[in-house]
Amino acid sequence: MRRLGDLEAEIMDRLWTWNRPTTVREVVDDINETRPVAYTTVMTVTNILYTKGWLLREKQRRAWVYTPVRSREAYAAALMEDGLEESKDRPAALVHFVENMSEEEVAALRKALRSVGRQAKA
C-alpha cells in the first residue's frame, strides 16, 4: 500500500475524524482555517481518493458527499504490514517493533493476539 500524500492524508484525517458523509466544500473550509488551499485542488485530490478506492461518494442534492472505505486503523495496519514486508527477517523486525512499544501498547498487543487466537480456534 502506498502511503497517502500530504493533502490526501489531510483530507482523510478530516473524514475519519468527522465520521460522517462530507462535502469537498466542508473540507476546503476547514483546511483554509490553517492554510490556504483552492477548492479545485481539494476536489481533484478527493476525486483521486475516490478513484483509488479510498472513498465512497453519493450525490446529495447538487453536491457529492464522501465517506471513507477503510478506517484509520485499517490504513495504519496496512502500513505496518508494508513495513514488515521490507524486512528479510520478519520475526526480528517484529522484535524491534515491540521493543519500542509502551507497556500499554504491549498489553493491547497481547490482548489482540489472544483475541485472534480464539477466533482461529472457533
- Residue 63: what pLDDT? 92
Residue 19 has a CB neighbour count (10 Å cut-off) of 10
- Model confidence band, residue 48 (pLDDT cutoffs 50, 70, 90): very high
Q: Rg of the chain over CA atoms, in angstroms?
A: 18
- Residue 116: what pLDDT? 86
Mean pLDDT over 27-49 rounds to 98
Q: Tell me how far CA of residue 12 lies from CA of 81, 86, 119, in angstroms.
A: 20, 25, 31
Those residues with Cβ within 8 angstroms of residue 48's Cβ, 6 or more apart along the chain or in another chain: 8
pLDDT in tens, 50-108: 999 999 999 999 999 999 999 999 999 999 999 898 999 999 999 999 999 999 999 99
At 55, is the secondary structure helix, strand, or coil? Answer: strand
Between CA 19 and CA 17 the distance in angstroms is 5
Q: Which string of DSSP letters, residue by residue, matches 14-30?
A: HHHHH-S-B-HHHHHHH
- Model confidence band, residue 44 (pLDDT cutoffs 50, 70, 90): very high
Between CA 77 and CA 82 the distance in angstroms is 9
Mean pLDDT over 14-42 rounds to 98
